[in-house]
Amino acid sequence: MGKFETNQIDLRGDGRIILYQRPDVVMNPKWQCRISVDGSTGYKRFSTKTSDQKEAEKVAIDQYFELQNKVNKGGSLQGVSVKQVYDQWIKTKSFMKVGRSEDYINQQFGRVEKIAVKFFKNKPIEDITNQYVQEMMSWANEQEKPLRPRTKTRDNTPLSSSTLRGIRSAHNLFFKYALDNGYIDKLPLIPAPSLKKNRRPSFTKDEWRRLTNHMRKWVEEPCKFNPKNKKSTRGMNGYDKKRYRERFYVQHYILVMGNTGIRVGEMRNVCWNDLDRVIVGKGEERLIFSVDGKTGKRDVVANAGVENYIRRIYEFRKEELGVTDEEFNRNEPIFCHPKGNPVGDYKGSYNGLLEELGMRKGKNGDNRTIYSLRHTYATMRINEVPIYQLAMNMGTSVEMIEDYYSHAKVRSKEFATTMTQGNQKGGKKALPF
């Protein structure tokens, strides 16, 4: 009799089916079972989930014959482990890249390897219950917190909803693979973080109008050439060349990002030859951006007016380089440093601008970031286009749009009028830039 077994019953008399109860359970102890079968080593342990002996015996015998049949067909008594299923899943990586970026796919596999594989190790995947998954997510919430450099202790700040959602999404993909391939009979329920309580800070229409109006003065007035400043260099139109350039680009970066919803990482790689035109609605032309980001390649239809912003950047850059339209390098990033290398973002200048306006923090007290421009785009456009079209344009899911932007009153719209219905790219002459 094992250390943690009492009232042991050998149902066959050969040690193959053993019923027992736990000594630490006094009130209404449920019968436990351990089974061994011919052709396999070790035991299979499980709870019969009943304190009635007769019912427990029936459950144990049924399980014994099921396990024996499984082993006879070449299966394992313990079942296939989480690690083994992961090793099979990772072989499908190349097939998953359709419509998704390589970085996104690698991130999904990395999350599962770092969390599920590490947490469950060799535990049979068929034994993974909803409770086990909840324990895994709680463990992940602690493990994923950054380490403090000095103390090497975990930061107590809870993971953001977006991070938890990413973890959840990766593991849903993994368990969906396990289900499709017969390793499990049903998907475990992975708790979803409450995203609505962590609404991302954006700009209201009034704030956006105030920001864009202020930027005109913000670019012009402080940038006038000061001969007393040794670091100041007279540039175009008598302005401090370096300072004016920075603010000019920041102004147009904000205008473009807020009117396209493009991610920071996506915009970083957008070059001049990634631009085209598309016809929307009743013959209206819009600028279209071909981007490549975490959700793969897609075309982004810009709001009206964006072509004017892009054209200003083009004319500025052409004058800066002293080149003609024919000589202009269309492989160069739109937002670039003077030497042509891409700009990561304009975080410093952007934050300074918001501080100047007293707009650094949103209504919820959280700091606005560059990503607030994307959130502003979504909040304003959610009432103007069908939510499915908006999700496609932003490279995200309808669920994500609903979760993050449900505070906006969404009007019901038919799909008769869409952002890109019946249109062909490049129907006109190629853009001059």
The DSSP annotation for 10-68 comes to ESSSSSSEEEEE-TT--SSPPPEEEE--TT--S-EEEE-S-S-HHHHHHHHHHHHHHHH
Domain boundary among 156, 171, 193: 193
Q: What does the pLDDT average to over 364-379?
A: 90
Same domain? 256 vs 374: yes
- Helix, strand or coil, per DSSP, at residue 182: coil
Per-residue pLDDT reduced to its tens digit, 8-44: 999 999 999 999 988 777 677 889 998 888 888 778 8
Same domain? 61 vs 172: no
Tallying the residues shown for the chain, one arrives at 433
Backbone CA torsion sign across 212, 214, 220, 225: negative
C-alpha closest to that of 265 among 177, 351, 343:
343
Same domain? 111 vs 231: no
Same domain? 264 vs 340: yes
Query: Which pLDDT does position 399 carry in this prediction?
Result: 65
Same domain? 235 vs 163: no
Mean per-residue pLDDT over the chain, rounded: 81
Query: Which pLDDT does position 416 carry in this prediction?
Result: 29
Instruction: For 301, list phi and psi in degrees, rounded to 5.
Output: -85, 120
Same domain? 267 vs 310: yes
Same domain? 224 vs 177: no
Q: Is the pLDDT of residue 351 over 80?
A: yes
Question: Which residues lie below 8 Å from residue 34, measured CB to CB, with a gap of 6+?
Answer: 18, 20, 43, 44, 45
Same domain? 187 vs 219: no
Same domain? 275 vs 165: no
Model confidence, pTM: 0.57
CATH for 273:
1.10.443.10
Q: Is the pLDDT of residue 125 over 60?
A: yes
Domain count, the chain: 3
Same domain? 212 vs 339: yes
Same domain? 156 vs 233: no
Q: What does the pLDDT average to over 376-397?
A: 85
Domain boundary among 149, 166, 193: 193
Range of the domain at 89: 82-193
Is 419 within a domain?
A: no
Per-residue pLDDT reduced to its tens digit, 393-433: 888 877 667 666 655 544 333 332 344 443 344 444 446 56
Same domain? 100 vs 44: no
